[in-house]
Structure 1
């Protein structure tokens, strides 16, 4: 369920932590965390907040899109998964999408298509579906990317989700255009 100011006030109560401050605390905890497991949990938590439009302005102000992109460059598969998951959740918003694109996120998301982690591939496919527009088509619709997505579309027996996401991507951005 999406949040609004009234619902947020009801959930936090009179003395609760305002959402932006809570998100700032999560970002600070991530920056100070020294162990991978703590970082994973924090990024997963931030990615969950990224699905709700109520949080978009807060996440942009706190540079969380950049934090998600940084996670994609890590060797830790969980950080990559949760980072691209956060991007996937937030990129439906045009301002978030613009920030992701301007920060060099498309090549990083494309790299996630080759991940051994199923969720990472799903999130990457969905993010590219939403990020692909006239301004980004040249960067996204490279022959090697289209070929990989075509292979996923034919992998129904192996993974129906990959197949369905890939087919939707191809129909909207390649075969249907």
Structure 2
């Protein structure tokens, strides 16, 4: 059995890479570039970093959640897809969940339910589940959202149908 230190070292790598500085360089590059393809790749990379809880503090310090929230209003569907994926990954953490809710993230996420991009819709649905608490339930379970989920629960797309059905059947999760 590995010690927690050994497990952490294995997950962070032994090559001396400083995660904070690497993520910071991605954020700086995102801010400095006007290349559509480059911006998409950077947001995809940041969303991938959001998969690992070891990066949560770095992503918070660098305001990546705000960057993701800002991207939800973009016309570029690829940026929206990667941003909502990053938010979905980060919302398992209570501090990140609170940040999204307190920074008007729910209406932006609700907008993603109308996307023509299946991955965007699926990430939005799952993010809504992660954000649902007794405090957010009224906003998450608003009539327009329930109507949208009801529509998706009849979809021929099994992924959309199944996630919408779970959303409609379940109450709020027990995480706080």
Q: TM-score normalized by structure 2?
A: 0.90
Q: 1:29 and 2:32 equivalent?
A: no
Q: Aligned residue for 1:5?
A: 8
1:145-172: CA deviations, max 9, x gaps? 10110111111xx211111111111111
State the Cα distance separating 1:140 from its structure 2 match: 1.4
The 3-state SS of whatever aligns with 1:173 is coil
Stretches of structure 1 that go unaligned for 5 or more consecutive residues are none
State the Cα distance separating 1:45 from its structure 2 match: 0.5
1:1-177 equivalence runs, <5 A: 5-9=8-12, 11-13=13-15, 16-155=16-155, 158-173=156-171
* Paired residues, number: 167
1:46-73: CA deviations, max 9, x gaps? 0011011111111111100000001101
Structure 1 residues 37 and 4: alpha-carbon distance in aligned structure 2, compared to 1, 3 A threshold: farther
Displacement over 2 Å in runs of 4+ = none
Residues 12 and 18, structure 1, Cα contact 8 Å, conserved in 2: no
1:80-136: CA deviations, max 9, x gaps? 000101001110111110011111100000000000101000000000011011111
The 3-state SS of whatever aligns with 2:170 is helix
Paired with 2:126 and 2:32, the residues of 1 have a C-alpha distance of 31
Paired with 1:80 and 1:12, the residues of 2 have a C-alpha distance of 33
Q: Aligned residue for 2:3?
A: none
The 3-state SS of whatever aligns with 1:79 is helix
State the Cα distance separating 1:4 from its structure 2 match: 5.4
State the Cα distance separating 1:41 from its structure 2 match: 0.3
Cα RMSD for the two superposed structures: 1.5
State the Cα distance separating 1:141 from its structure 2 match: 1.1
Paired with 1:142 and 1:79, the residues of 2 have a C-alpha distance of 26
The 3-state SS of whatever aligns with 2:116 is coil
Paired with 1:128 and 1:94, the residues of 2 have a C-alpha distance of 14
Paired with 2:62 and 2:151, the residues of 1 have a C-alpha distance of 37
